[in-house]
Each structure stands twice: as C-alpha cells, then as structure tokens.
Amino acid sequence: MKRFLIPLGLFLVLAVFLGIGLNRDPREVPSPLIGKPAPAFSLPTLGAPGKTFGPQDMRGRVWVLNVWASWCVACREEHPVLVEFAKRGVVPIVGLDYKDQPAAAQGWLARLGNPYVLSVLDTDGRVGIDYGVYGVPETYVIDKAGIIRFKQIGPVTAEVLKTKMLPMIQELQR
C-alpha cells in the first residue's frame, strides 16, 4: 500500500499543476509596461477635427485609457460596463479608437453610448504597438505621474472593475 503513495502523490501534484494551467487564459501575458511611463503620442480626436490629445495632457490626474474599435466584438460586451462606470465620474476614460473608420466609430458611440471624455484615432495602429496592444479591448490605468499601473487585456467586466481597477484607482487618487 505504502509504495503507491509516492506515485499517487506525484500524480496529484502534476494534476494540480496541469489543472491550474488549463484554467489560465494564455492570452493574458504580463505586460512589461506596468510601472513604465505611458508612451507619448499626439493623435487627432474623434469628432473634433484639428484637435489632438496626448497622455501629457492628463498630467496630475489618474485616468483610464481604453483601447476599442467599432469592429471589435468583445468591446461591445465591455461597453455597458464602461458606460455605467463613466456615469459615476470616478476617473476620466479616454478612448483609443484602434484601426477604425471615424464614421463607423462615431456611429457606434451614438448607438451604444459614449463613456469617453474623448477618443483619439489610431488609424494605422502605430500607437497601439507602442502600448503593446494585441487583443482589443485593452484597458490601462495611468497614475498622476503618467505611469501605467494596471493593464486589463480583454473586456473589463464588472468584477474586474470592482476587485482590481477601482481599489487601485482610489489608492492612486489619494
């Protein structure tokens, strides 16, 4: 009997590790940008020709950068959460409209609501590369000094917002 205990124990350890591995999302790759300054950009604003926006405009404020697109299916899932969050007015949410048509983007916001203080147009995806975007939607929490503190890959759910983003935002705003 005792001789089976060791293989059984090894098997259980292996099973636990494989089980953990199965339940993790391989798309969630830790971002090297956490703790680094938000990459600078200056992009045209959606719906306001001639106006540009960059992260430097948000110095001294905690803010959220949300990468979205009208063609992005998961963004639609995330959108109501952001609209609801924006209503509470905790932080300004800036949209980065990633590789999108301005007309389509504006139609999307008109239809589904606009949680953004403004959205900038990253038509060729160049700024997306600087932010290490590989799966829209992605969301960044950026602190008063312009440092990226948190990155959510994939939709922001009500749970992520409540358990991860909000506590961090409140901490940073202090």
Interface residue with other proteins among 126, 145, 158, 162 (CB under 8 A) is 126
| Cis bond upstream, residue 32 (ω within 30) | no
Compare residues 12 and 110 and give the one whose CB is closer to other proteins: 12
Which alpha helices (DSSP H) does 24-98 contain, by range? 73-87
Q: Give yes or no for residue 27 binding other proteins (CB under 8 A).
A: yes
Does position 154 bind other proteins by CB under 8 A? no
14 binds other proteins per the rule CB under 8 A: no
d(CA 52, CA 42) in angstroms, rounded, equals 6
Task: Give SS3 for 86.
Answer: helix
45 binds other proteins (CB under 8 A): no
Cβ 130 vs Cβ 39: under 8 Å: yes
* 74 near other proteins, rule: CB under 8 A: no
Please identify, using beta-carbon distances, which residue of 30 and 50 lies nearer to other proteins.
Answer: 30
DSSP-assigned letter for residue 70: T
Q: Which residues would be at the binding site for other proteins (CB under 8 A)?
A: 26-27, 29-33, 99, 124-126, 128-135
